A and B are shown apart, each in its own frame.
Chain A
């Protein structure tokens, strides 16, 4: 595992650069001619993954030597899965009095800064991992007291009763600010002796020659659509025999509302407006109880939507204007914004989980229970099971391995025998059941019959619709959507929202949103689909701007705005965008999202 020789924080560089920018001359972008047409295409991608280093003049004279170090287990990703795995490993090591060096690397500058979720936490996995979590001060402060569900139309709200046994019943769960929970998990891990390294991005290689961190087993917990996991799937062929993963994008805001409107412990979900019946998705609104009248709210939109004119961000903003939502937000103020992709594939999309030297945990392979919209408890459990399997393998005195990296297939076996698998199996048909003429309503009927009554025991397994990127229809077959302008009180524009996420990246790095072919965005995405990337990115990274020479457009990538949601990599109809990790400590600065 290779890591950049990178920085914890370097604000001084930004100040210096600002000064230098004023002093240096404007550099003209390089232009080259495409092979098959006479229109010039401006060069966009300069990342080493596309432009090899040995031909790149910027690398002349740079030291290529690497520093190397060894650990027993390296965990990539300091989220619920990664930290649970680290904690479990150290618990076992301390219990059996064995020495074990466990390192966690996390690209965010501090643990929890890239974490974003609703979230209603089911404490099942936590109860197994740290039974005395309450005494240790885990930030599970808001027990769910009220559960509401409704179907929205443009003007009305139709309440739907949540009967016990339905997947969205939240009795016994807690509304949490997942970023704070993850931070707390990090503190527990450090207490047990785990080495945490926030601010370090793990990649094959990055801008400056980095550090190699060797481990007997490397655990990958990068969250939904991890960039290293992508490479592993290809290299080790882990996805043969499972369906491609399907995703949704979740956009979220935190608001401080008028105390009179505050109902701590209330959980509200809705489906329907503003999404049409064939676009999967829904809203959430949770009233937290942590001393101030705060609500967490958001919209989830399935990324298998077909209309390229759909903008998940603008759907979210206009949902807030629904007559049932406005009263809660009136007089309040927005204090945070963020977005992240999430998995919806469930049971059918789980790949092989292990290979020589490594294992996949958490949302990276994807264990989210989609109708429950919960994946934290299963992510944590997968991390714990991986830790147990790895520990018993590493401490096995008769261990003989064919490879330098150790293979731990018992993790996959134990996962398939655990409650995680049972749970995923029972809800496996709910999401695919939305792919019918009646869309949402067909899906709800199916859930009512087959899940509520039969508990998912039907013998068949429905398939998903295929790759999300392939679902978009050409723009000429679809109608543009008229979105209302943001009013600045309830709904807001994109750029002020991105500013709230606190995202930032070092200027002096190649954009981490790389294109396999620089000419495709204008030739394909813009021409056929009217440039959906300018709409599905929740941070305004992609913009089609007129060429300086006057005729035609070019794609401008504002890589600095990126909030690391991974939606572009997932939804690009040409699958031309490849998200790679930028320098460590860049990205959003979420606080308890």
Chain B
């Protein structure tokens, strides 16, 4: 039986909220804005918990990188069934510039430290639509352009979750109450030997250009005339 699954959960701005660019164009307003767990991370947590319920893995550990508030997101994962959480403390300027390179280094360091056999994340690139554990190998069915591909991989492995992998369970109030007692360990990136300096610099953030109103024309001649005017033909 595989020992441990590591699941990454990210706290993001809720999809129903209208995003506003900060007046100084350095980023997007996040203070006080409603945040939730990334939907794909929810699916990843669900998959990990199901593997545990099927007794294919022993422990599910939820990890999140960010300031104090990400602890709420970790608690949600705990309420869904994760056993314990790890909060990688990143705040202020470091958090603003935290990019995929740094996060992947952090997760790699943690996976080694925790001796995780499997890391499940929300989807990027190719993605799994079904995961089963077969002895000491993992069988994954993934969706590709031509159809479905079934592969067997050795552990430790990294799997990313697609929408169709599962339907996440609800975090019920009794489980939220129980989750308050589960442990969340705090860790600093430095302790993992990860350097957070970013290779990217955000120069400016702007709203997308306003969509220009279209023009209605009455006849085909009008259309041709307008296209000629615009220099298109």
Contact = CB atoms under 8 A, between A and B. Distances in A.
A87 B206 CA distance: 42
A500 B79 CA distance: 31
Interface in B1-24: 14-18, 20, 23
B20 A15 contact: no
Contact of B32 (A8, A11, A109, A591): A591
A280 B68 CA distance: 46
A522 B31 CA distance: 45
A5 B172 CA distance: 5
B110 interface: no
B174 A67 contact: yes
Interface stretch (B39-47, B151-159, B217-225): B39-47
Contacts of B37: 9, 11
Given A15-B163, A69-B177, A335-B20, A10 B34 contact: no
Interface string B60-92: 000000000000000010010000000000000
Given A8-B171, A197-B176, A589 B76 contact: no
A494 interface: no
B27 interface: no
Contacts of A183: 32
A330 interface: no
Contact of B173 (A12, A211, A502, A503): A211
Most buried by A among B18, B38, B43, B172: B172
Contact of B34 (A113, A499, A500): A113
B76 A500 contact: no
A8 to B, nearest CB: 5
Interface string B190-201: 000000000000
A381 interface: no
A463 interface: no
Contacts of B129: none
Using C-beta atoms within 8 Å of the partner chain, give the interface range for chain A: 35 or more
A8 B174 CA distance: 12
Interface in A489-512: 499-500, 502-504
Contact of B79 (A8, A109, A195, A504): A8
B168 A179 contact: no
A179 B16 contact: no
B81 to A, nearest CB: 14
Nearest to A586: B16
Contacts of B177: 69, 195
A182 B33 CA distance: 14
Contacts of B40: 12
Interface in A541-593: 589, 591-592
B182 to A, nearest CB: 15
A197 B76 CA distance: 12
A8 B14 contact: no
Given A9-B14, A9-B36, A592-B32, A16 B174 contact: no
B34 A5 contact: no
A292 interface: yes
A188 to B, nearest CB: 16
Contacts of A6: 170, 172-173
Interface string A170-194: 0000000001100100000000000
B174 A499 contact: no
A179 B15 contact: no
Contacts of B34: 109-110, 113, 502, 589, 591
Given A5-B172, A7-B170, A16-B163, A591 B15 contact: no
B173 A3 contact: yes
Contacts of A7: 170-171
A9 B36 CA distance: 6
A19 interface: yes
8 contacts: A8-B171, A8-B176, A9-B37, A11-B15, A15-B163, A112-B32, A113-B34, A591-B34
Interface of B: 14-18, 20, 23, 31-34, 36-40, 42-43, 76, 79, 163-164, 167-168, 170-174, 176-177
Given A10-B39, A12-B167, 16 more contacts: A8-B36, A9-B14, A9-B37, A11-B36, A12-B43, A69-B177, A109-B14, A110-B34, A183-B32, A197-B176, A256-B23, A292-B23, A502-B14, A502-B16, A502-B17, A591-B31
Chain A to chain B: the 7 pairs with minimum beta-carbon distance, closest first: A9-B36, A12-B39, A504-B16, A11-B39, A589-B34, A591-B32, A7-B170
